[in-house]
Amino acid sequence: MKIALVQINPVIGDFDRNCEKIRLWSEKARTRGCDLVIFPELVVSGYPPQDLLERNSFLAAHDEAVASLLAHLPEIDTMFGCLERRDGRRGKPLHNSSAVARQGRVIFRARKQLLPAYDVFDESRYFEPGSPSDFYQVKGLTFGVTVCEDVWSEEVNEYDVDPVADIFSKAKAQGVTIDGIINISASPFQRDKEKIRKGIFEKICRSNNVPFFYCNQVGGQDSLLFDGRSLVMDATGTVVAQAKGFCEDMIVVDTDTWQGDMNEAVRISEQAAVYQGLVMGVSDYCRKCGFSSVVLGLSGGIDSALTAAVAVDALGPENVLGVALPSPYSSADSLEDAGMLAANLGCRFEVIPIAELFDTFRRNMARLFAGREEDLTEQNLQARIRGNLLMALSNKFGHLLLTTGNKSEMAVGYCTLYGDMSGGLAVISDVPKQLVYELAEYVNRTREIIPARTIAKAPTAELKPGQKDQDDLPPYEVLDRILELYLEQGKGITEIVELGFAEPLVRDILRRIRLNEYKRKQAPMGLKVTTKAFGYGRRYPNVQNFQG
């Protein structure tokens, strides 16, 4: 038989749109001769719906949409993720379920058993764990069906049940032969996660001598990026069908020959994956929030250059406005590089000097600042003037303002509240500085888009004469490694020092991270590409003094 896996890009709560996509793609699968089409986790509502699940009107609209969907699906078994209300006074009111529709009714359900409550996940807040389901049968084949986290039991090591192992134990007890494991997912992207996923799937295949079908959501949802990359593995763990990453796609596999659509290379580079994810994230956030254009400041530096390149690839050059806002300390090279970048990208470019405004601010504050030397206050005034002007352009023309700070800066507070942190979306706020350089090289892989001088010159905020980032920060390769150890791997001072870093430096960096939590709480939402991003998945108090 032929089986289709379809990764679509849902909009949370847009039930009519999501269900129409399910119907149209199901029809495409039917025309290709498929007997089964599989869609991702919670595809009817979109994932993650968060506290919308606490609204009765949301649940009623969901149920109405499912009823309508069942009445309009073509003659093909359709597996899709949906909410399921549960009876009983105790426990949560919902299951996160996989349903199979056949001839206008649901003939099978599998309920998610493992409900993650780490990092960006909060499913135990809303859902009750399911019990092991029966087996799904179609055209003489028998499948075990799982929902996302259900196949991650061994990897996460936080659960006392293993739904995959339970499937095979139950099959053995009943004398049933399992012909494959199906997993519908809404699994967010992060760099290197594809390698981990495939390792899990390969182990399931080889340990149990069964094929594996993985259908994952695609699209940007707030800070989360879903990469799709749905796939089918045969019983040896070999990928026999692979969907594209970061776009809607369908793959079909024939279970008689175990041949299928290979729409993308099995492996792509980390830089390509992160860049494609950022482009999708900007595109989807703008589109789903009703924006069609963006504005950003172009300093001539590498961070704003990378952000501009992402924006142009996401929205087209005609929908991107780059603005240089030179101050008395901005170099001629920086202004020239910003203009060259805009020309290479083909986007609109404007220059708004801020020297006069800066002088006005200083004159107006002179009486109150009398007797004090100029310091960080005056540096930050420049950033805040720029932020105000960019926000004015955003307000006047309806552009979404993109901020351009990277993760390394955000971590240690090397950013200005109500200045360069002003905006609606922080595109690279989860991209460490070293990765920024790698992505810039990726942008220039076929021709020079980001000027070579922008990449080669020492990073600088240009807020005072001769300023360089490394005047206040350690080399970025050192800073990024310490940040990775602390933020992503959870290591403390002693463990980091034991890896060869100077203790005073480590203590200073961790002090900066702790003291600047209040800034990050006021920062615009960013796009998540690492294992631990600032924002929704990292919950630290502003007021605390733990220094370990």
Q: Which residues contact 85 (CB under 8 A, 6 or more apart)?
A: 59, 63, 93, 94, 95
CA 182 from centroid of its chain's CA atoms: 24
**Cα–Cα distance, 339 to 347 (Å, whole number):** 10
Phi, psi torsion values for 239, nearest 5 degrees: -70, 120
3-state secondary structure 90-149: CCCCEEEEEEEEECCEEEEEEECCCCCCCCCCCHHHCECCCCCCCCEEECCEEEEEEEHH
Percent helix, percent strand, percent coil in the chain, to nearest 5: 40, 20, 40
Q: Which residues contact 40 (CB under 8 A, 6 or more apart)?
A: 7, 8, 47, 80, 81, 184, 185, 186, 215, 216, 217
Catalytic site residue from 82, 148, 215, 347: 148
Catalytic site residue from 19, 82, 112, 205: 112
The count of residues in the chain is 548
Q: Provide the strand spans (E) within 164-306.
A: 180-185, 212-216, 218-221, 224-227, 231-233, 239-242, 249-254, 259-260, 294-297
Collapsing DSSP to helix, strand or coil, 436 comes out as helix
Catalytic site residue from 21, 41, 82, 433: 41
**Would you state the structure tokens that stand for residue 457, as one six-digit string?**
């010159």
**Cα–Cα distance, 167 to 185 (Å, whole number):** 18
Write the CA distances from 453 to 177, 249, 297, 330, 440, integer angstroms. 62, 39, 18, 15, 12
193 is catalytic: no
Q: Which residues contact 478 (CB under 8 A, 6 or more apart)?
A: 501, 505
Write the CA distances from 35 to 74, 79, 102, 107, 337, integer angstroms. 11, 11, 10, 15, 56
Q: Which residues contact 283 (CB under 8 A, 6 or more apart)?
A: 220, 314, 315
| Nearest residue to 42 via CA among 87, 71, 65, 12 | 12
**Would you state the structure tokens that stand for residue 63, as one six-digit string?**
């149920």
244 is catalytic: no
**Would you state the structure tokens that stand for residue 499, as one six-digit string?**
């890896």
| Nearest residue to 524 via CA among 431, 410, 432, 437 | 410
112 is catalytic: yes
Tell me the catalytic residues.
41, 112, 148
